[in-house]
């Protein structure tokens, strides 16, 4: 037996017991009545006492019953619990899966809710140590919530209230579930001395108690012993229809024409027919009825394939907008029923060419579909006020031809020749007769560009920082590199075009086109707008002391302010939906966060998890409370005793 | 014979005139005299004559002038009455308890006792019996001794009306005093609640002696017969301030009733075994029915 609040019981006993005895010694305040003679009354009382058997005993019986009733209440106050488990105290790590699939509502209120309830029952069953405990040890536990990343909600403690609060604080997410990080964190905590500085901390491994549906992406990377982890399976259903892919793009020839593509997956054993709608800025434009075939079942979790089908929409939309594709049927997991995409407005680029005169480059750029191409002398460029340049945003891309500017206004740069200063790139010397040895043909900048024949008579040697992306290499130096610094993007070519044979190659035109498209794709956006869950929203070149307001899909708001360098980073995209960023005096920016994960959409709970070394089966039995609180029984006993006392008192009076 | 009016005026505080009119027809009956003496002699008293001289006493207004000793008047110029000792002459001795305990009850026992005493005294005086009324508590408190004739009615009423219930009761001492002063033969009527802590037996034994019939009238208040008490009480004895702590319960009340019945039965048996008559009265009952019916039935009156 354990005591939850032994001191409280002791204090109450110290007050109540002497009080009861004192009350018993106090005489009853009797009302005085004058009678002619007490003769007969005394005889009657005498008779009553003589004739009532066990008179003295009965009086004591009353006291005894009162004492017993009081004792029962006092013991109840001390909060005894009956702990069925024996042995010394153990340490547990409660791992709660809060990935997207745990939001399935096949069990009320949701899988995560059920997991939290089961975890709470588990926490309640932990043994707590106390001064009056019969054993010296109490159980310690910590709580880790994990999806893609692990989050420690509460480190090792025996304080149940703290543990329960930590469990309550777990919020659902829409990310994938990866266990490896959580296990690593748990072991790290288990090996360091805990909050309670217990000697046991490092002695024995903590036991992992996993509450999950078993849909974990990386079980094979987790190494656990068979008796180290207990898996409590949460979830029942497998039927789910999800949107697993979505893409929207404007037609090249007709920028107002938008093609939208989406893929639907069915994880149920029966084919389903669902209506899929397309909405632009929350206005439904089109509805398609789609039949998704049944999944291909498997026996050993190897060849499972959901039934898949694709749906495409075509739309004429000349403005920016938020596209939503949603399947209208109901299923347990609402997070994957919709996908969003942010449609940028059709735009042609404005380019500033800073050159002393380069007809080759000029004509190559002029061949690209640009809104504007403004040539400018180096002196003219230096005369521009960088602040005004940043605010006006007249140019999307600046092409620097053999010019090293003193200042770099925020923009995207295509640099030929010597690299600008202040971007961590050194060019100590010139090289001669460089030929291309390798290039990244898959990169968008080099798409369809053949560099095999490129030869540079003179080139700068580029010494790049580690985060620079090398796109092409000469035999002695990088030839093309991509670099991001302070919100600016630089595409560096370390040679003068006129010092190479590139203008005679068809690839040069393609390169210019690709480079401008690539750099122009980042115009005004400060980054990508279609994000996966957990990917941060980043904005660049935000003026200092601007306060941004981020509106989450659930309409809650958060204020953001830019860090040094003018970049804003919001990592909290844990839920799917459309996030909006509002900036003063600028149009609202939209970000779509999508699940689009075929593995997370598969919600069928696993009966066993195959870790790298062992296979852990789900616990069959429902978690039971091992601690039985005794206070209700004691209070009931006190009630019965009081009733008995009343009965005894009345019997005494009646006889 | 002419003094009825002032008598009635005073006595009406205790007895109402119609009741008194009915009492006129009654007389006190002594079994001892009837059994022991000649019947004819009892009747002769009615004629107011006798032969056996006993004593003289001073004349008071209302005395029969026929018994004035004119010889002495001639010699001393003072009026004296000749008293004749008559076998038929009935002495009625009323002992009324006026201890503090009689003041308790609703209606109170003392008023009942006073009215009963007044009624019995009235009957005795009207019928020219020798009447002694003794009011007692812890001894004789007041006494109207050996009076005869209607003329003593106001005196008796005065005495009854002015005496309040007070003090302890000492029945034994009272009886000692009473028997010492008692002369002649007749009827002794004791009116009390008989709730004497020191007992009543030896005292009653004293009264039983001699040529006297003993009538014991026990007066209890309704509260004593059926107490209406509840709760945890401290009972205070009005006389000796003795205390009894009780918790009233059905069981206790049952025991009280049993004890009361046993007590009354003991008294009754004590009386019956010794030739005395026991009468129990409730202070809530009417005096009229007690006197006119019950006391006639037990042959105290006729």
In the prediction, which pLDDT does A252 show? 60
In the prediction, which pLDDT does B4 show? 44
Tell me if B250 and A37 make a contact (CB, 8 A cut-off).
no
What would the pLDDT profile of B253-262 be if each residue is shown by its tens digit? 888 999 999 9
Q: Let me know: does A250 contact A346? Beta carbons within 8 Å.
A: yes
Is some CB atom of chain B closer than 8 A to the CB atom of A26? no
What would the pLDDT profile of A421-463 be if each residue is shown by its tens digit? 888 888 888 888 999 999 988 888 888 888 888 999 999 898 9
Question: To probe the interface with A, which of B231, B247, B255 has the most A CB atoms within 10 Å?
Answer: B255
Chain A residues within 8 A of B249 when measuring between CB atoms: 653-654
User: Is the bond leading into A376 cis (omega within 30 degrees of zero)?
Assistant: no
In the prediction, which pLDDT does A144 show? 93
In this structure, the strands spanning A91-97 and A140-146 are parallel
In the prediction, which pLDDT does B44 show? 38
State the CATH number of the domain containing residue B195.
Answer: 3.40.50.410
Is some CB atom of chain B closer than 8 A to the CB atom of A34? yes
Q: Note the CATH number of domain A530-594.
A: 2.60.40.10
What would the pLDDT profile of A535-566 be if each residue is shown by its tens digit? 888 887 777 788 889 999 888 998 888 887 77
Is some CB atom of chain A closer than 8 A to the CB atom of B193? yes
In the prediction, which pLDDT does A4 show? 73
pLDDT-derived band of residue A203, with 50, 70 and 90 as boundaries? Answer: low
Residue B224, class by beta-carbon neighbours within 10 Å (0-12 exposed, 13-18 middle, 19+ buried)? buried
Is the pLDDT at B1 greater than 80? The verdict is no
- In angstroms, what CA-CA distances link A294 with A303, A307, A600? 14, 5, 18
In the prediction, which pLDDT does A615 show? 86
In angstroms, rounded to a whole number, what is the distance separating the alpha carbons of residues A293 and A179?
32
Average pLDDT in the A78-91 region? Answer: 68
Is the pLDDT at B25 greater than 90? The verdict is no
Class of domain A349-520: alpha beta
Is the pLDDT at A195 greater than 50? The verdict is no
Question: To probe the interface with B, which of A37, A51, A654 has the most B CB atoms within 10 Å?
Answer: A37
Percent over 90 (pLDDT), chain A: 12
- Residue B139 is assigned to a structural domain of this protein: yes
Thinking of the domain A241-334, which architecture would CATH place it in?
Answer: Sandwich (2.60)
Closest residue, chain B, to A51 (C-alpha): B255
What would the pLDDT profile of A485-504 be if each residue is shown by its tens digit? 877 889 999 898 889 999 99
Do domains A349-520 and A530-594 share one topology? The answer is no
In the prediction, which pLDDT does B38 show? 36
Chain B residues within 8 A of A47 when measuring between CB atoms: 255, 258-259
For A592, the 3-state DSSP assignment is strand
What would the pLDDT profile of A111-121 be if each residue is shown by its tens digit? 999 999 988 88
In the prediction, which pLDDT does A514 show? 87
To the nearest whole Å, the CA of B234 is away from the closest chain A CA by: 5
To the nearest whole Å, the CA of B221 is away from the closest chain A CA by: 9
CATH 3.40.50.410 fits A91-236+608-625, yes or no: yes
For B139, the 3-state DSSP assignment is coil
In angstroms, rounded to a whole number, what is the distance separating the alpha carbons of residues A438 and A461?
16
Of B101, B249, B258, the CB nearest to A37: B101
Is some CB atom of chain A closer than 8 A to the CB atom of B302? no
Selection from A423, A399, A541, A570 nearest residue A484 by Cα: A423
In the prediction, which pLDDT does B134 show? 92
Is some CB atom of chain B closer than 8 A to the CB atom of A37? yes
Q: Where are the domains of chain A?
A: 2-83+631-654, 91-236+608-625, 241-334, 349-520, 530-594
Percent over 90 (pLDDT), chain B: 21
Is some CB atom of chain B closer than 8 A to the CB atom of A653? yes
Decide which of A127 and A421 is more confident: A421
DSSP A376: E
What would the pLDDT profile of A605-639 be if each residue is shown by its tens digit? 888 888 888 888 888 665 555 567 788 888 899 89
pLDDT-derived band of residue B207, with 50, 70 and 90 as boundaries? Answer: confident
**CB under 8 Å to A117, separation ≥6 — which residues?**
none
Tell me if B234 and A653 make a contact (CB, 8 A cut-off).
no
pLDDT-derived band of residue B186, with 50, 70 and 90 as boundaries? Answer: confident
Question: To probe the interface with A, which of B246, B263, B282 has the most A CB atoms within 10 Å?
Answer: B246
Q: What string of DSSP letters covers A491-517?
A: EEE-B-GGGBSGGGSHHHHHHHHHHHH
Is the pLDDT at B89 greater than 50? The verdict is yes
Is the pLDDT at B45 greater than 50? The verdict is no
Of A38, A47, A653, the CB nearest to B255: A47
- Residue B236 is assigned to a structural domain of this protein: no
Is some CB atom of chain B closer than 8 A to the CB atom of A310? no
Which residues are A231's β-sheet partners?
A210, A618
pLDDT-derived band of residue A525, with 50, 70 and 90 as boundaries? Answer: very low
Is some CB atom of chain A closer than 8 A to the CB atom of B192? no
Q: Containing domain of residue B132, as a range?
A: 91-221+277-297
Average pLDDT in the A11-35 region? Answer: 80
Average pLDDT in the B109-114 region? Answer: 91
To the nearest whole Å, the CA of B259 is away from the closest chain A CA by: 6
What would the pLDDT profile of A314-365 be if each residue is shown by its tens digit? 888 878 888 999 998 888 888 888 999 888 777 778 889 999 888 998 998 8
User: Among the listed ranges A19-33, A63-77, A471-485, which one has the minimum average pLDDT value?
Assistant: A19-33
- In angstroms, what CA-CA distances link A400 with A17, A397, A445, B107? 93, 10, 17, 130
Average pLDDT in the A511-537 region? Answer: 76
- Residue B33 is assigned to a structural domain of this protein: no
Q: Which of residues 232-251 of B touch A (CB under 8 A)?
A: 232-239, 242-247, 249-251
- In angstroms, what CA-CA distances link A111 with A106, A107, A416, A623? 7, 6, 57, 15
Cα dihedral A277, A278, A280, A286 sign = negative
| Contacts of A632-638 spanning 24+ positions with Cβ under 8 A | A634/A72, A634/A73, A634/A75, A634/A76, A634/A80, A635/A72, A635/A73, A635/A76, A637/A69, A637/A72, A638/A69, A638/A70, A638/A72, A638/A73, A638/A76
> What is the residue-averaged pLDDT of chain A?
83
In the prediction, which pLDDT does A97 show? 92
Closest residue, chain A, to B247 (C-alpha): A653
Is the pLDDT at A20 greater than 70? The verdict is yes
For chain B, what is the domain count?
1
Decide which of A125 and A409 is more confident: A409
In angstroms, rounded to a whole number, what is the distance separating the alpha carbons of residues A566 and A252?
33
Selection from A192, A195, A143 nearest residue A164 by Cα: A143
Tell me if A36 and B243 make a contact (CB, 8 A cut-off).
no
Is the pLDDT at B99 greater than 50? The verdict is yes
To the nearest whole Å, the CA of A650 is away from the closest chain B CA by: 9
Residue A583, class by beta-carbon neighbours within 10 Å (0-12 exposed, 13-18 middle, 19+ buried)? middle
- Angle formed by the axes of helices A111-124 and A160-168, nearest 10°: 180
Beta strands in A158-194 (DSSP E): none
């Amino acid at each position: 037996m354990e005591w939850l609040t032994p001191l409280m019981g002791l204090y109450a006993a110290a007050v109540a017991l002497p009080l009861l005895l004192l009350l018993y010694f106090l005489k009853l305040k009797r009302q005085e009545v004058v009678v002619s003679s007490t003769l007969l009354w005394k005889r009657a009382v005498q008779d009553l006492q003589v004739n009532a058997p066990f008179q003295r005993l009965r009086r004591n019986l009353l006291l005894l019953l009162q004492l017993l009733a009081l004792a029962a209440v006092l013991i109840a106050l001390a909060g005894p619990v009956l702990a069925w488990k024996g042995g010394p105290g153990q340490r547990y790590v409660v791992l709660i899966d809060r990935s997207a699939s745990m939001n399935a509502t096949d069990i009320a209120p949701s899988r995560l809710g059920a997991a939290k309830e089961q975890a709470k029952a588990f926490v309640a069953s932990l043994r707590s140590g106390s001064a009056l405990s019969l054993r010296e040890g109490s159980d310690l536990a910590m709580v880790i919530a994990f999806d893609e990343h692990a989050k420690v909600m509460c480190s090792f403690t025996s304080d149940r209230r703290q543990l329960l609060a930590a469990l309550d604080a777990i919020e659902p997410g829409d990310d994938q579930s990866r266990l490896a990080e959580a296990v690593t964190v748990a072991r790290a905590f288990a090996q360091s001395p805990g909050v309670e500085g217990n000697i046991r901390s490092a002695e024995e491994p903590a036991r992992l108690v996993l509450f999950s549906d078993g849909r974990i992406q990386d079980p094979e990377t987790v190494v656990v012993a068979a008796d180290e982890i207990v898996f409590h399976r949460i979830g029942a259903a497998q039927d789910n229809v999800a949107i697993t892919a979505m893409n929207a793009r404007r037609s090249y020839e007709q920028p107002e024409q938008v093609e939208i593509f989406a893929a639907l997956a069915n994880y149920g054993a029966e084919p389903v027919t669902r209506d899929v709608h397309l909405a632009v800025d929350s206005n439904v434009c089109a509805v398609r009825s789609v039949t998704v075939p049944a999944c291909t079942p498997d026996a050993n979790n190897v060849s499972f394939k959901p039934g898949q089908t694709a749906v495409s929409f075509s739309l004429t939309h000349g403005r920016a907008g938020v596209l939503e594709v949603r399947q209208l049927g109901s299923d347990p997991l609402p997070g994957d029923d919709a996908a969003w995409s942010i449609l940028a407005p059709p735009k042609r680029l404005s380019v500033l060419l800073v050159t002393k005169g380069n007809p080759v480059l000029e004509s190559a750029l002029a061949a690209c579909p640009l809104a504007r191409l403004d040539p400018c002398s180096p002196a003219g460029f230096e005369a521009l006020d960088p602040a005004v340049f940043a605010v006006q945003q007249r140019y999307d891309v600046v092409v620097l031809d053999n010019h090293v500017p003193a200042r770099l206004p925020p923009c995207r740069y295509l640099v030929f020749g010597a690299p600008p200063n202040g971007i961590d790139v050194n060019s100590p010397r010139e090289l001669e007769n460089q030929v291309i040895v390798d290039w990244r043909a898959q990169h968008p900048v080099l798409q369809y560009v053949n560099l095999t024949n490129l030869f540079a008579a003179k080139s700068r040697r580029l010494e790049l920082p580690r985060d620079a992306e090398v796109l092409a290499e000469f035999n002695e130096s990088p030839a093309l590199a991509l670099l991001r610094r302070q919100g600016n993007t630089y595409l560096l070519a370390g040679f003068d075009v006129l010092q190479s044979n590139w203008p005679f190659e068809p690839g040069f035109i393609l390169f210019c086109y690709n480079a401008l498209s690539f750099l122009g794709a980042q115009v005004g956006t400060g980054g990508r707008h279609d994000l996966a869950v957990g990917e941060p929203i980043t904005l660049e070149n935000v003026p200092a002391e601007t306060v941004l307001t981020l509106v989450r899909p659930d309409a809650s708001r958060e204020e953001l302010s830019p860090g040094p360098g003018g970049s804003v980073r919001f990592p909290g995209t844990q839920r799917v939906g459309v996030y909006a960023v509002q900036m003063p005096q600028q149009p609202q920016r939209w970000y779509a966060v999508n699940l689009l994960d075929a593995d997370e959409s598969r919600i069928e709970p696993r009966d066993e998890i195959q870790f790298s070394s062992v296979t852990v089966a789900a616990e069959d039995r429902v978690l039971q409370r091992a601690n039985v609180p005794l206070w209700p029984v004691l209070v009931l006993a006190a009630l019965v005793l009081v009733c008995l006392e009343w009965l005894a008192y009345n019997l005494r009076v009646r006889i | 014979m002419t003094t009825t009016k002032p008598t009635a005026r005073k006595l009406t505080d205790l007895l109402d005139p119609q009741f008194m009119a009915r009492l006129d027809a009654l007389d006190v009956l002594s079994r001892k005299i009837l059994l022991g003496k000649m019947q004819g002699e009892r009747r002769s008293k009615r004629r107011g004559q006798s032969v056996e001289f006993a004593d003289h006493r001073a004349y008071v207004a209302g005395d029969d002038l026929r018994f004035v000793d004119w010889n002495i008047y001639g010699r001393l110029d003072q009026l004296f009455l000749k008293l004749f000792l008559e076998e038929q002459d009935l002495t009625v001795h009323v002992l009324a308890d006026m201890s503090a305990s009689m003041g308790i009850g609703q209606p109170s026992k003392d008023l009942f006792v006073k009215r009963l005493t007044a009624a019995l005294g009235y009957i005795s005086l009207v019928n020219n019996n020798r009447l002694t009324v003794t009011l007692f508590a812890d001894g004789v408190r007041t006494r109207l001794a050996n009076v005869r004739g209607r003329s003593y009615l106001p005196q008796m009423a005065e005495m009854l009306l002015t005496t309040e219930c007070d003090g302890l009761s000492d029945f034994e001492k009272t009886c000692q005093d009473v028997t010492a002063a008692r002369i002649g033969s007749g009827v002794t009527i004791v009116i009390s609640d008989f709730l004497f802590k020191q007992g009543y037996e030896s005292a009653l034994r004293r009264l039983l002696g001699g040529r006297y019939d003993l009538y014991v009238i026990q007066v209890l208040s309704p509260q004593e017969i059926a107490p209406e008490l509840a709760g945890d009480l401290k009972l205070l004895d009005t006389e000796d301030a003795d205390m009894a702590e009780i918790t009233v319960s059905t069981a206790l009340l049952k025991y009280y009733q049993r004890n009361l019945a046993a007590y009354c039965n003991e008294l009754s048996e004590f009386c019956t075994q010794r030739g005395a008559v026991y009468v129990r009265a409730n202070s809530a009952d009417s005096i009229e029915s007690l006197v006119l019916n019950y006391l006639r039935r037990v042959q105290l009156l006729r």
